Amino acid sequence: MKKGIIAGLALLGVVALAATGCSGAADASNKGGSGSNGKVITVGFAQTGSESGWRSANTESMKDAFSAKNGFKLIFNAADNKPENQIAAVRSFINQGVDAIVIAPVVTTGWDDVLKEAKDADIPVILEDRTIDGSSDLYKAWIGDDFKKEGETAGAWAKTNLGDKATNMVVLEGTTGSAPAIDRSTGFSSAISGTQIKTLDSQTGNFTRADGKTVMEGFLQKYGKDINLLFAQNDDMGLGALDAIKAAGLTPGKDIQIVTIDGTHDGLQALADGQFNYVVECNPLLGPTVAKTVKDVLAGKAVEKKQTATDQAFDQEQAKQALPTRKY
């Protein structure tokens, strides 16, 4: 971003976002925005894709926060969960000369070159939802959920409820190489360490219902009634697995206990209905915090490098209480 724009931003100040993600007023004609001299702030957002209900809620939150009325022009790209598509989108944002880039990285690796290009172009990068393995100097901040803690919370439930008896578990992992898949596995494994829970199999379901169903069908064909516990690393894979479990003549929530992560409306409904046994939340409503961070960075303000959302966890009764007002 040009020095003159930064100076203008510092002069005018930054309007703080409210919890709803709304601040100021602007439109595409650059009138009354919260950028410098009324200039709309152009942001490129490289989303992973649309693989789940969680992702849809996250995208909607981002679009609402980076709206014209809040002083932004958003250039949105969904990579269909393909890292090469996402990197190409970021390069396109750089070539377009956007003011800032926001990325929800599909995988943790392979980012150094393109982020160095953004840094050389003086375009700040904010990571949203997922993290990367690259140098922290290549991005200004990360805003997301504590995936390892989510795994630990899910594992703690399994330990408390099943850890003292022989329990055979299968795992539906998220996208291979993604931060949530890696961290949730680490957290869950640490929490059940020393228990009698044994992992029969663990495969990726790519965070989708379709793949969750397909992989669970394979698990059931191979292990059948030996499976006592399913850990699905997101609600959608767990929901897909329900169809496979029912088709096998088994009762989800009883014959096979199920713990998932996300806390979507559909996931909590399955919990309320007794088909899931425990759900750990992963808050997707990150847009307002990301938008405020972008404005602060462009205004030259210091920002927290790591900003973590608050997550809850639900049993059946808590799910019933939460459902009437659930936003996603």
Residues 20 and 124 in one domain: yes
First vs last Cα of the chain: how many Å apart?
35
Per residue in 247-278, pLDDT tens? 999 999 999 999 999 999 999 999 999 999 99
Residues 157 and 139 in one domain: no
Residues 88 and 194 in one domain: no
Residues 158 and 141 in one domain: no
Per residue in 59-103, pLDDT tens? 999 999 999 999 999 999 999 999 999 999 999 999 999 999 999
Note whether residue 328 is domain-resident: no
Domain that holds residue 151: 147-282
Residues 30 and 127 in one domain: yes
Per residue in 204-263, pLDDT tens? 999 999 999 999 999 999 999 999 999 999 999 999 999 999 999 999 999 999 999 999
Residues 154 and 276 in one domain: yes
Residues 6+ apart with CB under 8 A from 63: 74, 76, 287
For a pLDDT cut of 70, what percent of the chain falls above it?
88
| Number of folded domains that form the chain | 2
Least confident stretch, 23-27, 65-69, 231-235, 296-300: 23-27
How far is the CA of 93 from the CAs of 2, 59, 123, 148, 291, in angstroms? 16, 18, 10, 31, 17
What pLDDT does residue 38 have? 66
Residues 6+ apart with CB under 8 A from 273: none
Note whether residue 326 is domain-resident: no
Residues 136 and 46 in one domain: yes
Residues 234 and 306 in one domain: no
For a pLDDT cut of 90, what percent of the chain falls above it?
86
CATH number of the domain to which 291 belongs: 3.40.50.2300
